[in-house]
Chain A
């Protein structure tokens, strides 16, 4: 106090010290969070950000900035989808036009992935083949999801005989290797694109039904379902309007994760000759056709094979990304 000239109000009352204390105690307060790994924290933060996002577009932007791999996958899927939709515009050649003078030409400027055994442009055929692969990826997945969801809801909510019958059917379909079962269905119904839908739906509904059933079993014990019943809501309405929306996160994840399986199954079936039939083409069929020339002209088989790989991976990564977002506490170990 002797020299008031150097009096500084901020230090005189311990202002700075107090501030330091505050920050250190704030750090201590965060300590419980320290147990969480950095990855978990990021997930939780992401979920919080998403909750605050106003519009769907905002959410989408947050997602893309967070999970680059999923964003890239989405772009790849979009590009492939656009190419498939606008195939007549994008494809440089008619995919069915044969040119026997230029068979198995290998990669060149005129034919990016060369020509196949009948002189058809491989790249153009891949673009048209993407149509089949995408439709097969999406439609049977959608159908099997719808079928599995309805059966799972009935099984879980009504229980008793319905539950027993549906779950035993699910056990039976799951007891067979799915490709084998799909082949049995295809041989019975005959080859063709519609029958592929049916076969793949038939093979893959059981997994969905089981997931939705277990979800329904836990949801139907929730108080808000009890409350709905006390309000006089009918059981079908409870199943489809009260329980189903609560299963949506699971369904979205199942959807994205089932698509690559469908694409691969279609490729396998086509490769075995019971899927898409010429002149229609699919990537699986192209790999099958090209396999005879694998040692002399590998591009014919490898190009569509890599395309299958990329598309399946893209859907997988997208599915993972979606799952991470919908369930930030999932991988908490």
Chain B
């Protein structure tokens, strides 16, 4: 295990024990976040992307439980850590930003207090030093009049500013890994662009690795170095970002890309993948996507395809490639 990878998840399985049976929100997921890179996890709601992040933080709530696998953070397995050790790592070495900047800040404290608290927990610093670092981080995340803004309460700030505060809180201890769970979903597109640019800038300055969870293919294209496409708890396709967009090979990823509205195409109706994400309790025996896949064959219902490498570093979990499948369809037509 080299230090080149900040995070390496191996065969992670996170299960929710429900009355109707166990459901695997994260099922045999392996992924790698190399140092200083941005790795994206994409997928529909309920595909297990947030649960993967929560598993890394070990903040999975009952009845959820990490059943098996390894989460290697800088070579050490986080699953072997005691809760106390984990608590020291959270916020210091690994930190997280959430989707909703509106509700992720405590309404009764000033944002300055909250940013300083993030630091106070992990480092013993004097009051002046805390304040200096808070001002510094506010300036780094592009909050104007940092001194003044530190005294603001969350409700006095706009959504974009609040997300900047959240990023500031997450970055103040200079973590090795930043997990961003849909950081821009609740923001409008201009602010989204600013926040993404900010995250990239912080990555470049501090060498922080970022695990970016999103359902937005545009964000992936703009931000990520590597992409993992998840569906029903499993990785469906993984590749380096240019490879993925140039050479989509899983029917599911192809469907996701097809459903992005495009400014240069006039269509009556946007493409959607038919159906909904299946109930994780009643997954088909074979490929999780078979019920919605337009190319599904008998074999897909019975047998789970393994992740296989179709090009260097490009893996898909499908018996055929999109190329073969769409080619076949055309020849039928």
Interface residues on chain B, size class: 20 to 34
| Residues on the A chain within 8 Å of B92, using CB | 232
Distance (Å) between the CB of A303 and the closest chain B CB? 45
Give the docked Cα–Cα distance between A232 and B57 (Å).
Answer: 10
Mark interface residues in B117-137 (1 if CB within 8 Å of A CB, else 0): 110011000000000000000
Complex: how many Å from CA A223 to CA B104? Answer: 5
* Number of A-B pairs, beta carbon distance below 8 Å: 59
Interface membership of A230, Cβ < 8 A? yes
Q: Beyond A223-B98, A229-B90, A230-B95, list 9 extra A-B contacts (CB 8 Å).
A: A224-B107, A226-B98, A231-B118, A232-B88, A232-B92, A233-B91, A233-B117, A233-B121, A242-B106
Complexed CA–CA distance, A242 and B100 (Å): 18
Question: A230: which of B59, B103, B105, B106 is its contact (CB, 8 Å)?
Answer: B59
CA distance A231 to B99 in the complex (A): 15
Query: 9 closest Cβ contacts across the A-B interface?
Result: A231-B91, A232-B91, A232-B90, A230-B96, A223-B103, A245-B108, A224-B106, A223-B104, A227-B104
Tell whether, in the assembled complex, residue A245 and residue B95 are in contact, meaning their CB atoms are under 8 Å apart: no
Decide yes or no whether B280 CB sits under 8 A from chain A: no
A232–B103 CB distance below 8 A: no
Q: Out of B57, B87, B100, B103, which one reaches A234, CB within 8 Å?
A: B87
Q: Does A277 contact B (CB under 8 A)?
A: no
Contact across chains for A222 and B90 when beta carbons are under 8 A apart = no
Residues of A with C-beta under 8 A to B117: 231, 233
**A232–B100 Cα gap in the complex (Å)?**
19
What CA separation (Å) do A232 and B121 show in the bound complex? 7
Residues on the A chain within 8 Å of B103, using CB: 222-224
Q: A227-B166, A230-B91 are in contact. Are A245 and B109 (CB under 8 A)?
A: yes
Q: Which residues of B contact A242 (CB under 8 A)?
A: 106
When C-beta atoms are compared, the residue in chain A nearest to B102 turns out to be: A223
B95→A231 contact, CB < 8 A: yes
A sample of 12 cross-chain residue pairs with beta-carbon separation below 8 angstroms, ordered by A number, consists of A222-B103, A224-B103, A224-B104, A224-B106, A227-B104, A227-B166, A229-B59, A230-B57, A232-B122, A237-B121, A246-B108, A248-B108
Which of chain B's residues have a CB closer than 8 A to the CB of A229?
Answer: 59, 90
Question: Residue A228 at the B interface, CB < 8 A?
Answer: yes
Interface positions of A (Cβ within 8 A of B): 222-224, 226-234, 237, 242, 245-246, 248
Query: Which residues of chain A have C-beta atoms less than 8 A from B100's C-beta?
Result: 223
Find the B residue at minimum CB distance from A249.
B108
- Nearest opposing residue in chain B for A221, CB measure: B61
Q: Which one of A227, A237, A245, A246 contacts B98 once the chains associate, using CB atoms below 8 Å?
A: A227
User: Which residue on A lies nearest to B154, using beta carbons?
Assistant: A224
Considering only CB atoms, which chain A residue lies closest to B103 in the complex? A223
A230 near B90: Cβ-Cβ < 8 Å: yes
Question: In the complex the two chains form, what is the Cα distance from A224 to B154 in whole Å?
Answer: 11
When distances are taken between beta carbons in the complex, the residues of chain B under 8 Å from A245 are 106, 108-109
User: Complex Cα distance A224/B122, Å?
Assistant: 18
Q: Are B106 and A246 in contact (CB under 8 A)?
A: yes
